Structure 1
C-alpha cells in the first residue's frame, strides 16, 4: 500500500508525466510485474503510485532521473543548487511538498476558524434580534425568554464542566504513561549496563588465559618463514592506508574496504575516552568492518601510526598466529585530536602462504585536552602484555 500525502501524489504525478512512455512502462514493470494490461501513460502512473511505498522510495528509482526532479523544482520556483545530486534534490522535493501541506492545513484552519467566528457572530446577532423582539412582548413572553436564557446558560456550564473533567482525565493518563515509560527506560538501562558489565567481565577473563607463547624470532629466509617485525610494518602500512583512503581528506582514491579482510567471527573491542570512558564491542566481519569505516568516513578521522621500533611491536605463536600492537595519533583536517593504541590479531588463511585476515581488533583512543604536548607516540603495551593478547587470540580459536 502506498503512503502519499495529497501534495506528494500531485508532485510525483507531475514528475512522472515528464518521463517518456517507455520509461513509465519499464518503471511500472519494475514495481508491479504482474500487471501487464497497461498501455497508456495515465494507467502506468496510476499503477506506479498505487504500488509504491512512499514518495521518497519512488523518487529513488533509477528511471526517475535527477534532471526530471530538477526540472520539477525549477518549475515550482524552488531555489536549489544546480550542482545538487539526486538525493539532495529528493530532499528538497519532499521538503517543498511538506511546506505545501502545512500551508494547505493552515489555510483550512484559518477558513474553519473564520467560519466558526461567522457562525458565532450569526448566533449572537440572532440572539440580539430575538431579545429585541422579546422586549416588545409583555408578561409571559418575557418570562419565557428569561427561562430560555437560563436553560442555555446551564447547558454551556455543563459543557464547560465536562470539558474540564475530560482534560483533567487526559492529563492524568498522560502522567501515568510518562511514569510507565520512565520505569521502562530505567529497567532497559539497567539491563544494558548488566550486559556491558558481563561482556567486560568475560573479556577480562579471556585476557587472563595464558598459553606457552614466546616472542617470535625470525629464522633465516632459507627456512621459508617470515620476519615478524617486517610483517608488522607491512601490515600497518597496508591497513592504515586502506582505512584512511575512505576519508576524502586523505587525498587518495578509496581502496576496496570491506568484511573480506576479517574472519566471519571477528571481534572489535573499542574503548575511547573524551569526557568519560566508553567501551563498545562488535562481533562479525560485517559489524567490525562497518564500525571502523564509520570512524574515517562518517566521523572524518585520520589515523597516523608510528611504525618505528618504539611505536610498534609484533609477536607470534608456534601455531602461526600473529599479534601486532601499534601506537599513533588521530587527526581531523589540520587538528590533532588525540592518541591511539591498536592491537591486531592475525590468522593466516589456508589459501596462499602470505594471505592473512584479522581475527581480533582492540582499539583504544584518548582525546587530548587543553594544550597537552605530543611527543612521538610510543606503545604502553610491552611484550608480556602483547603475548597475553596473543594468548587471548589462541583462546578464541579453541
Structure 2
C-alpha cells in the first residue's frame, strides 16, 4: 500500500488531475496490475495513490509525462528551465513536497506593492507581437499595479531560464545591482513567447537598508514574432546593463 506522506499525497492528487483521462486510466491499470475497477477519474486517482509504493516511483511512471510535471511546478509557483529533463523535474517536485512541511515556520513574505519600489521608479515595457509597442510607467504605485496586472489580470506566467545564458548580474561602483533574466511566457498550458527583463536595485537607508527596485525594463516577444528558435538568453552585455543606471 501507499507510503506517501500527507504532503506528497496532496501534491500527487493535484498533479494526477492534470493528466488526460486515457493516460490516467492507463496509469491506474499499471499501478494496480488491472486488479482495481473504477468508474470515474476521481476513483482512478485514489487507486493510483493507494497502490503507489512512494512518490518518486509514481512521478517516474511513463504516463506521468515530463510536460505535466513542468506545468504542475509552474502552477505551484516553481519556475524551471523550459529544457529541464524529467529527472530534474521529479527531483524538484520531491524537494517541494518535503519542504512544504516547514513552510509554516518561515517568516511571512511581505505583500506585493509599491513598498518594493523607489518612489521615482520607472518601468518600460517593449512588446513585439507583429508590430512593436512601448508602454512606460513612472512612480511606485503605477509600476506596481502594471506588473501585478501582468500576472494577475493577464494571467501570465514568467518562467526564467536560470541555466546557461539566461541570467546575468553586475554591480556598479555606486551601489546599484543590475539583474537581467530571460525566459518563456505561458498562460495556463499555452506557451506565448519569450521575455528578457532587466531591473536595477539599490538599498534604501530610510527603510532598514532594504533593497528596492529603481527601474524595470521588460522586452516581450510573442511566439509569432520570434525568429531565433534558440532558448531565451540575455542579450545585454555588462556595459549595457550598467548604462541603464544613467
**Residues 385 and 332 of structure 1, relative CA distance in 2, 3 Å threshold:** same
- 2:203 counterpart residue number: 348
Give, in whole Å, the separation in 1 of the partners of 2:226 and 2:139: 39
Bigger RCO (CA 8 Å, 6+ sep)? 2
- 2:244 counterpart residue number: 389
Name the SS of the counterpart of 2:193 in structure 1: strand
- The structure where helix makes up a greater share of residues is 1
Is 1:302 the equivalent of 2:157? Answer: yes
Q: 1:377 aligns with which of 218, 232, 243?
A: 232
- 1:322 counterpart residue number: 177
Q: 1:250 aligns with which of 41, 50, 75?
A: 75
TM-score scaled by structure 2? 0.53
**Residues 296 and 255 of structure 1, relative CA distance in 2, 3 Å threshold:** farther
**Residues 315 and 255 of structure 1, relative CA distance in 2, 3 Å threshold:** same
Give, in whole Å, the separation in 1 of the partners of 2:231 and 2:167: 12
- Where does the alignment leave 5 or more consecutive residues of structure 2 unmatched? 1-73, 78-108
Deviations 1:9-51 (A, max 9, x none): xxxxxxxxxxxxxxxxxxxxxxxxxxxxxxxxxxxxxxxxxxx
**2:161/2:181 contact within 8 Å kept:** yes
**2:128/2:225 contact within 8 Å kept:** no
Deviation at 1:377, TM superposition (A): 1.8
Bigger radius of gyration: 1
**2:124/2:218 contact within 8 Å kept:** yes
- Where does the alignment leave 5 or more consecutive residues of structure 1 unmatched? 1-248, 393-398
- 1:269 counterpart residue number: 124
Name the SS of the counterpart of 2:148 in structure 1: helix
Structure 1 runs (4+) greater than 6 angstroms displaced: 370-373
Deviation at 1:352, TM superposition (A): 3.7
Give, in whole Å, the separation in 1 of the partners of 2:137 and 2:198: 15
**2:130/2:224 contact within 8 Å kept:** no
**2:137/2:143 contact within 8 Å kept:** yes
TM-score scaled by structure 1? 0.33
Matches within 5 A, 1:166-245: none
Q: 1:364 aligns with which of 189, 198, 219?
A: 219
Deviation at 1:382, TM superposition (A): 1.4
Deviation at 1:371, TM superposition (A): 9.4
Give, in whole Å, the separation in 1 of the partners of 2:138 and 2:118: 10
CA RMSD for the aligned pairs?
A: 2.3
**Residues 371 and 307 of structure 1, relative CA distance in 2, 3 Å threshold:** closer
